[in-house]
Structure 1
């Protein structure tokens, strides 16, 4: 399974990424700088099975801090850009707790799922498979 992972937290995701690669033979392309991840998605001709996307990240060079609530919703704006190039499963992997906002994205796109940090490798794979099937929305609290 090929996963593109966009998250500003390299160290807290490292062991999880290693587990996915070593235990489940996943191929993970990790991007701390989201603009590199977007560029890869735009230019990739390889099949991508899922995108893991953090919600709370620094605004970076693409966004005005006010447009992303000073980084609180950067990943949600990235989702809107990513959807122009990629139609497969996206897992919003974050500590973001605004249920109304998450509901909007998940209920309007059956290939989007939310997974609260921290999670196990098995949880990520389960969410990816649910997203591939378009399963109904579930909160994992």
Structure 2
């Protein structure tokens, strides 16, 4: 299963549809509160997370999280560092912002630009390659 976290469904809908047409099960969450709850309940089923960088921080996060996420400008990076960085699940930081300070690429973390670098079918190819690399696909 792919967990896709982004606050603007209309912008990522083509990527989600292409993933589903290619046989992937995709669970979409448009806010971090729902995404965190879903992650905690079903993390064993999640093979990949696609995470937007700029989105509202959510209601379940304290004021220090708001500051660390720079009031929504780096929410995805905060969420990645706080909850996902040390996990085995691969994460794609997927954004249209080119001027944010992205964490250095690690074995399970990838950075892709929406629409600039990847058309939906190319995005699916990249997802497939990541899942194969992480032994989730044969």
Equivalent residue, structure 1, for 2:84: 83
Taking structure 1 as reference, are residues 3 and 95 closer, same or farther at Cα in structure 2, changes over 3 Å only?
A: same
Any stretches of 5+ residues in structure 2 without a counterpart? none
Contact 1:54 1:93 in 2 (8 A): yes
Q: Which residue is 1:38 aligned to?
A: 36
Tell me the distance in 2 between the aligned counterparts of 1:7 and 1:124: 15
List alignment gaps of at least 5 residues for structure 1: 135-141
Normalised TM-score (structure 2): 0.79
- Give the TM-score taking structure 1 as reference length: 0.77
Paired residues of 2:18 and 2:121 also in contact (CA < 8 A): no
Paired positions, count: 128
Alignment RMSD (CA, Å): 2.3
For 1:133, the equivalent position in structure 2 comes to: 133
Deviations 1:22-80 (Å, cap 9, x if unpaired)? 2x011100000111111111111653221000001112221533321121100001112
Answer yes or no: is 1:113 the counterpart of 2:114.
no
* Superposed counterparts of 1:44-63, under 5 Å: 44=42, 46-61=44-59, 62-63=61-62
